[in-house]
Amino acid sequence: MTDLLKFITFEGGEGAGKSTQARLLADWLRGAGHEVVLTREPGGSPGAERIRTLILTADPQPEQRFDGLTEALLHAAARRDHCLKVVMPALDRGAFVISDRFSDSTIAYQGFGLGVPLETLTRLHDLAVPRCIRPSTTFLLELSPEDGLARARHRTSTSGPAIDRYEAEELEFHQRIGVGFNAIAEAEPNRVQRIDAGRCVDEAEESIRSIIRFRYQP
């Protein structure tokens, strides 16, 4: 039976530490004997990973870029495939699913960042996502856009691929994303747990563990 309580997401701006904390939480839960599927968006299934490439390498020339609604449609298509192929089957067999980003990112980035009406995004979510599933717990990693972009660019310059389509946006765009995540957290304070991501990795990890202990007693 589908256990939506075990659907956990990580959200926040660029470089806030979502991937780091998602991985640490997955390792901890596995160590306690649970099956955990650690996944991400955009992506997470082979088809959705192909769409991810399309989105994140979109033409950097402003006049050639997808508009906000086209991006939202691509994210929704990727999310549908990810949910059908990975998220739902895992929840159906009782596993924890930890996703590095999910639909809150569409509200923050395509809604607050690019100006797509929130009502349109809600309708798109209801259309694309099987059974309209939503996470039961979302960790919002909060860090200033300046610090987050610095972390992301440091990581990119030392190990990773070129700066992606969103990292290349101006600071004001990332500030609007922060406003968007804040609005989501204020609207759903029980689901969305704010984590101060400016602290060291271990301290943020311990905050997350204490919330998981309280909610799930793993």
Q: Please give the residue ranges that form the binding site for ligand T5A (CB under 6 A).
A: 12, 14-20, 41-42, 56, 75, 101, 105-106, 109-110, 151-152, 155, 164, 166, 197, 200-201, 204
Nearer to ligand T5A, 197 or 208 (CB): 197
CA dihedral 175, 178, 183, 189 (to 10 degrees): -160
Of 134, 163, 132, 133, give the one whose Cα is nearest residue 150: 163
Shortest Å, Cβ 199 to ligand T5A: 6
> Angle at the Cα of 170 (from 166 to 172), degrees rounded to 5?
110
Nearer to ligand T5A, 12 or 90 (CB): 12
Nearer to ligand T5A, 6 or 40 (CB): 40
Nearer to ligand T5A, 94 or 130 (CB): 130
Shortest Å, Cβ 33 to ligand T5A: 25
Contact (CB, 8 A) for 138 and 192: yes
CA dihedral 6, 125, 22, 25 (to 10 degrees): -10
Shortest Å, Cβ 47 to ligand T5A: 15
